Structure 1
Amino acid sequence: MNMLMGKVISNVVSTRKLDSLQGYTLLVIELMHQKQKEYRVAADIIGAGKGEYVLLSTGEQVKHGLHRDTPVDMLVVGIIDSKPIVES
């Protein structure tokens, strides 16, 4: 399991998806603290919006934050109140 930080770039619009994904918003996340820009799709049930900084959980442990068995490997687990500052 990894905890990452990222910024919500946009929503993923999907007219057809697995029934188990119903109720989850899918977000495009720009990962922070990467050497190059890197984007991932994460499921969200807490209501993060475009431009917000979020905490992400990845890997098999994500299933503990889901309401049902769903093929998701990245989940928004928190919304960060202010832009994170990390010194080099």
Structure 2
Amino acid sequence: MFIARVTGSVVSTQKVQTMTGHKLLVVEPYRLENAKRQSLESTGRTFVAVDTIGAGEGEYVLITQGSSARLTPETKTLPIDAVIIGIIDTVHIDKNSVYNRND
């Protein structure tokens, strides 16, 4: 699993039947800033993930990829490689709060 921020959405009117009705979001992976380890920073990449929980733009989410993305009841029959499995409330590293959804 890893942390990402939702930066947009994808609309696809032509797709395989099993994907009909599934929300697709553009996500940007984040990592712990290396120098001070007190904030999250973008990795500079983006990709598309299936949203199973109702995440929205600007939210930080938990992502799982690969075969693990197809291990939820909602995704077990989908041809996907990435899925949003949680919305993040807080992140603490070395007793420091590096992210708080309410700030």
Cα distance in 2 for residues equivalent to 1:83 and 1:35: 15
Say what the alpha-carbon RMSD is for the aligned residues.
2.1
Residue 51 (structure 1) aligned with residue 58 (structure 2)? yes
Question: TM-score, with normalisation over the residues of structure 2?
Answer: 0.72
Residue of structure 2 in register with 1:78 after alignment = 86
Aligned length: 84
- 1:20 aligned counterpart, secondary structure: helix
Cα distance in 1 for residues equivalent to 2:43 and 2:54: 27
Closer, same or farther: CA 30–62 of 1 in aligned 2, 3 Å: same
- The unaligned stretches of length 5 or more in structure 1 are none
Return the offset for 1:27: 0.4
Q: Which runs of 4+ in 1 moved over 6 A?
A: none
Mark the structure with the bigger radius of gyration: 2
Q: Which has the higher contact order (CA 8 A, sep 6+)?
A: 1
Q: Which has the higher strand share?
A: 2
**Identical aligned pairs, as a percentage?**
37
Question: TM-score, with normalisation over the residues of structure 1?
Answer: 0.83
